[in-house]
Amino acid sequence: MVPDIGVSLPPRELCIVRLSAIGDTCHTVPVVRALQRAWPQTRITWIIGATEHRLLEGLEGVEFAVLDKSRGFAGYLQLRRCLRHRHFPLLLHMHASMRANLASRMVRADIRLGFDRARARDNQWYFCNRHIPERAQQHVMDGLFEFAEAVGIEDLEPHWDIPLGEAAHARAAELIDSDQPTLVISPCTGQRFRNYRNWSAERYAQVADYAQRSYGARIVITGGNTAIERQYADDITALAASPPLDLVGQTSLKELVAVLARASVLLCPDSGPAHMAAAVGTPVVGLYATSNRHRTGPYFSQHLVVDKYPEAVAAEFGTSTDALRWGQRVRDPQAMSLITVADVIEQLDLAFAQRGIHALQQS
């Protein structure tokens, strides 16, 4: 049954607002693919951030309108000029933030579909004239899929097919030998205020040594070109028994996805690479203590997550996770220390076994 949301479905075209971050835009791609499968004739325009566009540029059947936040208000004016001759029957406002709210006002649209009141942060509710039904305790990607459900899409099987290009695949092939087990470590998260999601370099080095010793794994460290990621790579390299391949600041986003596609396993905290790896089917051993894996964990690797969030919640709030707001962060700088090397090794063994990789015979 086609839902009555005030516009004829399928629409001739639609606009999506999902600016950031890397992980959340990765979560949005399967929703776009579901729309394309159901409505192959509908023209799709996606308003996206400049960094995220570098990852998804070339996505088949999608026209991107890029909002460069570094330009301030001029970026919004440029977005308005880009879309000034367009009028959309339907806008899917899939990003609850004030920046996204302002971007949505640069778009002329009849129906503006946004989150339910509980999830419409930063007053998103008032920037929309239709809202998806309220549904509690959803993974972020499942919450985005609700937009497709709300317009009558039934086939919600996740597919990505992010275009990487021959050059990215070639670079990854030079770096990663597919005949050797490879553990990629992406040790850092994006830097935000009171965002304590990084594990210790010393413990990463111990896990790297275990993977190399027990599985003959090649260790690869990845990350962006920031001071903290550079320091983490240097510290892990100094502490590890064998030097890993250091790719920090050495890959584009598309090259990073290609590297992850060739890797055996990714080890990382709650961060964008976890969701990039999910997009290419690589198992993720996720390290979670300050955020809820059921909301932001690697979608297909929940069974591989080292989950100390309940313990961290009990220590900081004196209660259980069920008593907290969904998605509540733990702000204790020491919370990630609840994750032990033994915890990670146990999940790493499961991840390698999932890939059909067995431990070496020890003499």
State the pLDDT confidence band at 221, using cuts at 50, 70 and 90: very high
Q: At what angle do helices 253-262 and 166-175 cross, to 10 degrees?
A: 50
Which residues does 14 contact at the CB level (< 8 Å), separation at least 6? Answer: 35, 42, 43, 44, 45, 88, 89, 90, 91, 92
pLDDT surpasses 60 at 363: no
Element housing 149 (H / E): helix 140-150
Cα–Cα separations (whole angstroms), residue 336 to 121, 131, 165, 200: 27, 36, 37, 8
Report the percentage of the chain scoring pLDDT > 90: 94
Place of tokens 């951030």: 49
Helix (H, G, I), strand (E, B) or coil at 59: coil
| pLDDT, tens digit, 9 for 90 and up, residues 333-361 | 999 999 999 999 999 999 999 999 999 98
pLDDT surpasses 50 at 6? yes
Mean pLDDT estimate for the chain: 96
Give backbone dihedrals phi and psi of 190, rounded to 5 degrees, phi first: -65, 145
The answer to whether 249 and 224 have CB atoms below 8 angstroms apart is yes
CA 127 from centre of chain: 25
- Strands annotated E in 4-108: 13-17, 43-49, 62-67, 88-93
At 195 the pLDDT is: 77
pLDDT at 277: 98
pLDDT of residue 1: 58
pLDDT (0 to 100) of residue 193: 60
Q: What is the pTM of this model?
A: 0.96
Cα separation, 122 vs 136, whole angstroms: 18
Q: What is the pLDDT of residues 115-132, one digit of tens each?
A: 999 999 999 999 999 999
The per-type count for the chain, helices as H runs and strands as E runs, is 13, 12
For the chain, what percent of residues have pLDDT higher than 70?
98
Question: 50 forms bridges with which residues in the sheet?
Answer: none
The residue whose two tokens read 């001029």 is 74
pLDDT digits (tens, 9 = 90+) for 42-87: 999 999 999 999 999 999 999 999 999 999 999 999 999 999 999 9
Q: In the structure, what pLDDT confidence band is assigned to residue 2 with cuts at 50, 70 and 90?
A: low
pLDDT tens digits, one per residue of 168-217: 999 999 999 988 999 999 999 976 667 789 999 999 999 999 999 999 99
Between strands 88-93 and 306-307, the pairing is unpaired
In this predicted model, what pLDDT tens digit does every residue of 267-295 receive, in sequence order? Answer: 999 999 999 999 999 999 999 999 999 99
